[in-house]
Every structure is written in C-alpha cells, then in structure tokens.
Amino acid sequence: MHISLRCGEKIFINGAVVRVDRKVSIELLNDATFLLEAHVMKVEDATTPLRQLYFIIQIMLMDPNDSAAARAMCDSAIRKPIMASDNAALAFGLEAVQSLVDASRTFEALKAVRALFPLEAEILAAGRGPAPVQAA
C-alpha cells in the first residue's frame, strides 16, 4: 500500500507516531495497522455518541497494547445508542461495527462508524435519539 504524506503530517502505524519533515511517499509492505492524521479525531470533537465510539475505537487502533479498557468502553458505547434509538439502520450498522471490533478489524470498524455519522445527524436533528453530550 502506497501512502503519500505532506511535510509535517503524522501517521500512526501499529501504535507508533511518525511525523515526516518533507513530502514523502511510503509503501507498507506487510500488514500494518495505520491511521492518517486527517482521520484522527480530537477528544473535543467527540461530542455525540457515535463520535465518542469513533474516538474509543481510534484509541484501540493507536495503542493496541493497552486496549482492554478501551474495548470495554467500546462495547458499552455500541450498546447505548442501540438501546436509545429505535432506528433499525443504526442498530444494523452498530452490530456490524461490533462484529468488526470483535474480529480485531479496528480500521474497518472506524470506517463503519464514520459512515454512520450522517444517520446519527439525522436522528439527532429529528430528536429521536440520544442527545449530544460533551466529551470529558
């Protein structure tokens, strides 16, 4: 897999943070878990239930050696929106996320959660789901 990075950009690879000092293209030659800086959510942006779930899974991806506590939080963060909303598409999407997390496919789980953001926005706008909360 080829990845292009701009000067000063960071990439998180298997728990390590790499910052490049110039424009560079790298090729990952084996299976590696990585996250581009552009996809990293800051804690202050985790203001809705699904954004908090994304943040938790992101932590699991970025620090795979210390994911037991994050995994427990993840399981809880998946159950709460399902219980708080009667939206079948949301429940189905979160069940898929749970399956991906259970299979240790955290990168794919992040993509699945991100794909649910527009649905969550609709639910919150209609007032049919859990209210946004401020992240700790």
Is 113 among the domain residues? yes
Nearest alpha carbon to residue 36 among 46, 44, 26, 22 = 26
- Cα-Cα-Cα-Cα torsion 108, 8, 62, 54, nearest 10 degrees, comes to -50
Provide the token pair at 72: 């427990």
Give the tens place of pLDDT for each residue, 26-42: 898 887 778 888 888 98
pTM: 0.80
b (16+ CB within 10 A) / e for 63-82 = eeeebeebbebbeebbeebb
Considering the domain architecture, whether residues 80 and 121 belong to the same structural domain is answered as yes
Which residue segment(s) compose the domain that 110 sits in? 41-126
Is 6 among the domain residues? yes
Domains in the chain, number: 2
When pLDDT is averaged across residues 15-25 and rounded to a whole number, the result is 89
When pLDDT is averaged across residues 107-130 and rounded to a whole number, the result is 86
- Angle at which helix 68-84 crosses helix 49-62, to 10 degrees, equals 160
Distance CA 10, CA 37 (A): 5
Is 73 among the domain residues? yes
